[in-house]
Amino acid sequence: MFPWFVVLSSFLSLALGDLAVLDNNAEYNDGRFGPYVTQSYRSSDVNSPRLNFMKPFTSCDDGSFLFVAPRGGKAGSKPYILDAKGHLIWTADHHYGEVYNFQAQVYKGQQYLTFFAGDDTIRGHGAGKYYMIDQHYNEFRQIHAANGVKGDLHEFQIIDGKTALITAYHVVEAKLGDTEHEGRDGYIWESLFQEIDIETGEAVFEWRASEHVKLSESFDPIGSRGSEGDPWDFFHINSVDKDLNNNYLVSSRYLRSILYISGTTGEVLWHLGGKENSFTDESDPGQDALHFVGQHHARWTDNYNSITFFDNRADWTSQEDVKSAGTKILVDTELKTVAVDRVYVNPIHDVLSTSQGSLQTLPNGNILLGYGFNAVITEFSPHGEVLCDAYIGEPSSRFGTGDVQSYRNFKFNWTGLPTTEPSFRLINGTFFTSWLGSTEVRSWSLRHAFDEDRTYDDLALFPKEGFETRLELSAGQNIRRYVAIVALDQYGKDLAWSKTIDISKDVDFWLTRGIVDAASYDAEYSSDGRDREVDFEWLSIRDSMILSVLGFAVTLTGAIVWLLSTQKKEERADTADIEQCSYHHAECKPMGVMWKIQSLLSSKLKRISYEHEHIALLEPESVEPDEASEWSVATDRGAAV
Ligand SMILES: *[C@@H]1O[C@H](CO)[C@@H](O)[C@H](O)[C@H]1NC(C)=O
Ligand SMILES: *[C@@H]1O[C@H](CO)[C@@H](O)[C@H](O)[C@H]1NC(C)=O
């Protein structure tokens, strides 16, 4: 489709704007690039975490993206979409607050970016709201918890593309009667969840832990807590899922239990693990389906026959292992038996996360772990083999410090269609371009013109690699004064234009490198040269439209007259220079003059455009669609946007 690409690219030097991808880099892990490793760009003011791939994610590349949200002692809190090589696709251009649980979810058949943002300084839970961002990166909706409580960071799951499951924490008075503080009146952090109708914002279901669970089920010692200023977080809800029976699956960190809750009465139908466990463990020797600590992200899987979760194997007060793991448990809810199906353990590094974490079952059956308190993302085969493994900006020597945390990590497919224009900057004679959020751009077309508002011709085509593409020109390119970049999709079709850069103030730079030809410099950059072109700036839009129509009519009439007058000559001499169709071709003959006009339009005028004549007077819309790509070389800028 672009034969000229091959020619041009052979004399362009090409380099990534992004820094090199790091593979098992020891300096990184020693902390020599700092406690939070990021990269910045020249075409954009955003930055992104620089990943250290212990096992490249390119071997797990199914076309989807990594969704992470690093925060913590050293990392500012932003959501990031990264590709399999760690190259940035999108990040928020402003600070929403502390960002948790960044995902792509479906609501009413449309995909949205979703996350929690707010305050997370309230004893391990949050007070904030939930955001939905559409494919054009416009904020679609903010969702709040209902009934006067504040939304918490732990859960935001859209169910059936309609409702949202969210968690919340709320201080309530309680009789701390069934604890060792017999009879004491005090305060607890109530754990609750709500199912919110996204359309109306109302809760269609709400559940409060203390109404259905005894405080004595908690493994978290109350200590001196229980006052109004320091309530006891006895339950600590951290995930909610829903099944086809309209019942809920809730993970309680401090009960060390996963609870199954009736969607009609709120009653606890069974406990998996914890002090009130309802199941018999039929696991193989050496495995334990009922004992887990600080677990997160409990989800039904395998058509509601199994439950997966991230088993931290530690919390703030106890440590039961040297590493956290993903766990999949087979559950027979009739016979009340369970058995460990598989444990997913990272053999490359002992990563123990005392908080947070996620387990996502991918469509192909692979298991993706996010290590929460440590910025690690690992993909396993269904059988537990580590396929891909990366550190999200955090050196392994800093694990356990909380410098870089990412509550949950995911992989999702995503189509991002930003409405902003691509970013295009010229720095010291090198162009840099990027387009934050676009998943569709495959290559960049550098175009140039003598006059800012006139015809832009192709100068060079660069494949997009990484977030930022660096465009370097070399001698002999004869760059014109005004330059713009156009993002092209996989079919080579224009997606969007950047702003224009006037390179004339740096013309000495271009001259010394031979990128501008000294001989043509006077003609092209001096005012004499520009005066050769008709200045249309005084024309109003209406005037230019009238002139366009008139000009088109005149050109057409001229062409017909000329054709008719030359027809006889051509038939005699057979020396026509119209390339597209041979006169000897049978199908061409019957069309006569009309065919000639069309042929004339598609071949002669294209050449005229290269000679910088008045191509802008021609309306590109009048061209047959299948000729459009031919015409793009001469298309007026405004019409191609
Ligand atoms: C992404 O889409 C591809 C193609 O449809 C599919 O094979 C893959 O499973 C999807 N990946 C995720 C993480 O959804
Ligand atoms: C441009 O190049 C000059 C000379 O090589 C250098 O001193 C300057 O720092 C460069 N500027 C930028 C923005 O890179």
Specify whether 455 is located in the same domain as 559: no
Question: Mean pLDDT over all residues of the chain?
Answer: 84
Same domain, 614 and 626: yes
Q: Name the residue among 479, 557, 559 with its Cα closest to residue 520.
A: 479
Q: Which residues pair with 424 in a beta bridge?
A: 433
Cβ 326 vs Cβ 298: under 8 Å: no
Question: Quick one: average pLDDT of 406-429?
Answer: 96
541-572 confidence digits (pLDDT tens): 555 566 667 777 777 777 776 666 655 444 44
Same domain, 478 and 565: no
402: in domain: no
Mutation test of ligand 2: which of 425, 427, 428 has the most ligand atoms closer than 8 Å to its C-beta?
428
Per residue in 190-217, pLDDT (tens digit) is: 999 999 999 999 999 999 999 999 999 9
Task: Tell me, yes or no, whether 435 and 524 share the same domain.
Answer: yes
Closest Cα to atom 7, ligand 2: which residue? 428
Among candidate residues 514, 538, 562, the one where a domain is terminated: 538
435 inside domain: yes
Looking at residue 478, its pLDDT comes to 86
C-alpha 429 – ligand 2 centre gap (Å): 10
Is pLDDT above 70 for 589? Answer: no
Q: Residue 122: pLDDT band by 50, 70, 90 thresholds?
A: confident
Query: What pLDDT is attached to residue 509?
Result: 81
In a domain, 199, yes or no: no
Give domain status of residue 553, yes or no.
yes
Asked if residue 474 belongs to a domain, the reply is yes
Residue for token pair 């439950």: 307
Backbone angles phi, psi at 606, to 5 degrees: -60, -45
Is residue 340 situated within a structural domain?
Answer: no
Which protein residue has the closest C-alpha to ligand 2 atom 1? Answer: 428
Measured CA to CA, the distance from residue 631 to residue 9 in angstroms comes to: 21
Asked whether residue 429 falls in the same domain as residue 518, the answer is yes
- Do residues 471 and 563 share a domain? no
The mean pLDDT of 316-344, rounded to a whole number, is 96
From 538, 556, 572, the end of a domain falls on: 538
Q: Judge whether 353 and 366 are in contact, CB under 8 Å.
A: no
CB of 364 shorter than 6 A to ligand 1: yes
Convert the pLDDT of each residue in 251-262 to its tens digit: 999 999 999 999
Of 538, 559, 589, the residue that ends a domain is 538
Residue 452's domain comprises 423-538
Query: Does residue 623 sit within a domain?
Result: yes
Domain identity same for 485 and 567: no
pLDDT digits (tens, 9 = 90+) for 422-451: 999 999 889 999 999 999 999 999 999 988
Tokens encoding 56: 């490249």
β-bridge mates for residue 187, sequence order: 173
Task: Classify residue 251: in a domain, yes or no.
Answer: no
Q: Do 527 and 579 share a domain, yes or no?
A: no
Report field, pTM of the whole predicted structure over 0.85: no
Q: Are residues 452 and 559 in the same domain?
A: no
**Domain total in the chain:** 2
For the cut 60, the answer to whether the pLDDT of residue 625 exceeds it is no
pLDDT band at residue 277 using 50, 70 and 90 as cut-offs: very high
Cα of 81 vs centre of ligand 1, distance in Å, is 15
Return the residue whose CA atom lies nearest to atom 11 of ligand 2.
428
Q: Which CATH number fits the domain that encloses residue 515?
A: 2.60.40
368: β partners:
360, 379
